[in-house]
Structure 1
């Protein structure tokens, strides 16, 4: 996609917001300053006729986002969980983007199933009903397996969705490159890395074989968790553009009135949403990264059911430890320790002052504690957080983008069930439990065991590696050998002398 095509795409985005009335509606709802409203009107008013018309039956913002395509719809889904950022009315209107998008035809869906699975729909399914949910990327059909009569949900990708996303991603790359060139101060936000990350997430979501694999892994991780469940994958009826899972009955989490009518404890369910996300992120390092209301149900048994595993996040053990220490530091109001963790992890440049950074963190944390959640302005808090990161030269951490975004979303979901939910107090038991299990003597033994296993795998090569290292030191052209060998060479020689892989095996056995 060339530069002119991208410029046209961006211009048409602004024009669409202008033509549909979404621009004025959104700016008014978030109470944008008068100069911002004037600048937007001057810039986009002349472009209005070039914008997409959209469905006039929809509210302005929803109308604009659906007209612009699936990437914009995905953005709207995120905002729909944050009434404290975009306002209650806009959040409520955008909730239709989660699973109530216009469906594509039954004939197109059946043709896609036949194409992907290689057999007529009538041979595969005894029943194949009209769609019950339609989102930006796919829609879901209720069905019954022909051989067993089992009730299943069949997810089918939208026709042409890959091409539509490709156009949006190309436009986003164009924006990122513009920012990189024209706004050097914004480079710390790593816009190119952010778009690269977004692109990889989207491309994964467009292959339902990967989603099926993620669903199976998430289900396995959740087996011992109380009060939560997820559907099993039906592998023989799944492919790249079609995925089949067991059917799960339940009340959508977005239907608050229907949930109240079931008599469930709304506060407990709100807390369970937040704690389930944190437990998977910290314990497993593998978490659902698209936990909006459209992907969550409450089963007749009162369990939280998670659906749609197209966007998942992973974080390595070290990052989990850093994340947990930061959360626990905030929970304990130990802002100096939170600052130290940021420096130790390299999140803040070493030339910054630790005490000053700790003071800035206190200015973020203190206004939250002791306040009712519905009195905290997340919009102002996020703006202040951005100011702090800019002042201290913090770069965007692409490995934490999904984690941070999902935490914002699950807090919003939790607050729709319990307006007084405070994510810090809700998170505390999960974080403290993880810290007890992972930062004590038991974890030290596990770390030693993992190190021993690595030594065991490389054991057979240790003599060769040690010999090469020693010969390198003895080469005539090399500088005079130091009085003692480097510690690494000593360890290698010791490993070779004790039988290479035997050392690792013995250590593993001892630690077990």
Structure 2
């Protein structure tokens, strides 16, 4: 389980240690990534530098859709972590256009099954006995096929069923050789992360190598089924007092690192709206219960299910529970945990958002680590206030009715403000972002009119009431701190005046001089770059060779202007 706020120690396999049989896979991933990086460099950095930002902006969505269309078949063909990468991107409705996420949406459940004979051999090696001795029956047709393993329905032998307390099971068996494939994919992703770390536009917002390291830790946990079994048991303990939430029990007698045997809890898939209605279950009630369950995990429990896509959540009819159903979670290979301090910051963010408090949201962003301390946030606060006044409290259905011109006007007014701020993705936020994105998508599919504000407001109210109880203690502590500062102020002021009188105040301007020198060199490089590329374009019509030479010669100059750092 990955705890948010703790740096991962997982290290991807270096390229030199990639399995020789998988070198072709490694090269294919790197070729695709290189093509995308070069295209992005040209459109997002070079063209804006020569005054063609409008062209880059106008073609951005079309280019991103093209990248997604090329990545989709590559991920399906390669499988492994490439499908996981596509799944993560398909859930990022917050940063990617819907046209792009739609291209990747099929990757949520798309993975070709492995032949049963191969699965049988892998399972028998792991269990140490033939399948006929391990199970009374095992269906050779897979119940589901995922990127790292596949599941088959089965029945435990009588002696094992008596110990476990159940007989019907789902047996999850790891794909043969998936550990070597994971190592290869992580090696490629690590190299891509190191490249991105050298791009200032990316590095000032996210620590790409740390993000890859977190993804590596999560992926290695996913292929360790003993880890998943322990997470399933912990989830059951955390939700034991909530009658509307459940999960499968583990048959430990037949569980190994690559074979996981769980109680069969299959029911109605949470995204199957017709089946829900046929069972007399209100889909909007399911959406609210699902959002509440996920919020409980993040803001109250700490450990949370980080992969709650529709294939991992069932709705089980249950007349003894409020609403007539309970939510059954499966697949605990991807679990996260929010640390105590981060939970306090997230609670403050929820209170600020529900209260439509722009300044409070900015403070929460700082505390969580999404904004650097040096960021000038006056304009961001103004943008958030305007956002809350115009769109705050709207559900997805209401937002769809808003005139698109209003969104364009808002983006035009505040887009540059947001883009220029030093936002960054904190380490170990991957799981939390994935869980929130998937939850939002599932709830919107169940009920287009679902309003996430309504689900969050009870939390904000409860959090504010709990915080009010400690307000007096907080005020007393702050008063003591202020009194201490005031008591030391006269002495420190006297020391400062004495220093000024004696002429001992020193101001270090060396860093400023270096920055000015670096800026001057980059400005000169930009001028030369613009002259070369524009001159090449003009000359090209009359002298193609000279024009091409001038434009090619502009590339290293442009690279220096964009990426040069003082040595």
How high is the TM-score relative to the length of structure 2?
0.65
Aligned residue for 1:212? Answer: 229
Match of 2:156 among 128, 132, 145: 145
> Are residue 426 (structure 1) and residue 472 (structure 2) matched?
no
Measured at CA, do residues 438 and 282 of structure 1 come closer, stay the same or move farther in structure 2, by a change above 3 Å? farther
Equivalence map 1:184-333=2 (5 Å): 186-301=203-318, 302-333=325-356
Please name the residue that 2:124 is paired with. 114
When structure 1 is superposed on structure 2, of 334-343 and 193-202 the one drifting more is 334-343
Deviation at 1:138, TM superposition (A): 1.2
Give the superposition deviation at 1:426.
Answer: 1.6
Distance 1:362 1:72, change over 3 A: farther
Q: Indicate the residue corresponding to 1:29 in structure 2.
A: none
CA distance 1:369–1:167, shift in 2 (3 Å): same
Report how far residue 239 of structure 1 moved.
1.0
Is the partner of 1:102 in helix, strand or coil? coil
2: distance between equivalents of 1:134 and 1:423? 32
Cα displacement (A) at 1:444: 7.8
Give 2:111's match in structure 1, choosing from 101, 111, 122. Answer: 101
Residue 165 of structure 1 and its aligned partner are, at CA, apart by 2.2
Structure 2 partner of 1:500: none
Per the alignment, residue 440 of structure 1 pairs with 469
Question: What is the match of residue 31 of structure 2?
Answer: 11
DSSP 3-state at the match of 2:173:
strand
User: How do residues 308-387 of structure 1 correspond to structure 2 at under 5 angstroms?
Assistant: 308-344=331-367, 347-353=370-376, 355-376=378-399
**Structure 2 vs 1, CA of residues 338 and 89 (structure 1 numbering), >3 Å: closer, same or farther?**
closer
Are 1:75 and 2:75 an aligned pair? no
| Corresponding residue SS for 1:188 | coil
Q: Which secondary structure state, in structure 1, belongs to the residue aligned with residue 439 of structure 2? A: helix
Secondary structure (helix, strand or coil) at the match of 2:172 reads strand
In structure 2, the CA distance between the partners of 1:343 and 1:78, relative to structure 1 (3 Å rule), is closer
Measured in 2, the distance between the counterparts of 1:369 and 1:193 equals 34
Cα drift, residue 72 of structure 1: 2.4
RMSD of aligned residue pairs (Cα, Å): 3.8
**Cα contact 1:437–1:443 (8 A) shared by 2:** no
Per-residue CA deviations over 1:168-217 (Å, capped at 9, x if unaligned) read: 22222122111222435533311111111111111111111111111111
Consecutive unaligned residues in structure 1, runs of 5 or more: 17-31, 45-58, 446-512
For 2:272 and 2:248, how far apart are their aligned partners in 1?
21
TM-score with structure 1 setting the length: 0.71
Does the C-alpha gap of structure 1 residues 343 and 182 become closer, same or farther in structure 2, counting only changes over 3 Å?
A: closer
1:357: Cα distance to partner? 3.7
| Per-residue Cα deviation, 1:248-282 (whole angstroms, up to 9, x for no partner) | 13011232322232221111111122111110111
Structure 2 match to 1:466: none
CA distance in 2, matches of 1:383, 1:235: 54
Partner of 1:392: 421
Partner SS, residue 220 of structure 1: helix
In 2, the alpha carbon distance for the partners of 1:209 and 1:355 equals 49
Whether the 8 Å contact between 2:306 and 2:435 is mirrored in structure 1 is yes
Residue 432 (structure 1) shift: 3.2
Question: In the TM superposition, what is the alpha-carbon distance from 1:240 to its structure 2 partner?
Answer: 0.6
Three-state SS of the structure 2 residue aligned to 1:290 is coil
Distance 1:154 1:375, change over 3 A: same
Distance in 2 (CA, whole Å) between partners of 1:180 and 1:82 is 21
Maintained 8 Å contact 2:81/2:185: yes
Larger Rg: 2
Alpha-carbon distance change, 63 to 327 in structure 1, aligned in 2, over 3 angstroms:
same
Q: What are the superposed Cα offsets for residues 366-421 of structure 1, whole Å, 9 maximum, x if unpaired? A: 44324341354799899999966653323321233321221111100111101111
Q: Residues 179 and 187 of structure 1 are in contact (CA less than 8 Å); yes or no, is this contact kept in structure 2?
A: no
Contact 2:380-2:418 within 8 A present in 1 as well: no
Aligned mate of 1:413, from 442, 446, 455: 442
- Does the CA-based 8 Å contact 1:249-1:300 persist in structure 2? no
Cα pair distance change 1:260/1:411, threshold 3 Å: same
Structure 2: unaligned runs, 5 residues or longer = 1-14, 37-55, 319-324, 475-567
Describe the shift of the 1:443–1:283 C-alpha distance in structure 2 as closer, same or farther (beyond 3 A): farther
Q: 1:208, 1:239 within 8 Å by CA — same for their partners in 2?
A: yes
> Residue 137 of structure 1: CA displacement?
1.1
Partner of 2:518: none
Aligned CA distance change for structure 1 residues 7 and 237 (closer, same or farther; 3 Å): closer
Q: Is residue 77–residue 292 contact of structure 1 (8 Å, CA) maintained in 2?
A: no
CA distance in 1, matches of 2:200, 2:27: 18
| 2:369–2:426 Cα contact (<8 Å) kept | no
**SS of 2:84's equivalent?**
helix
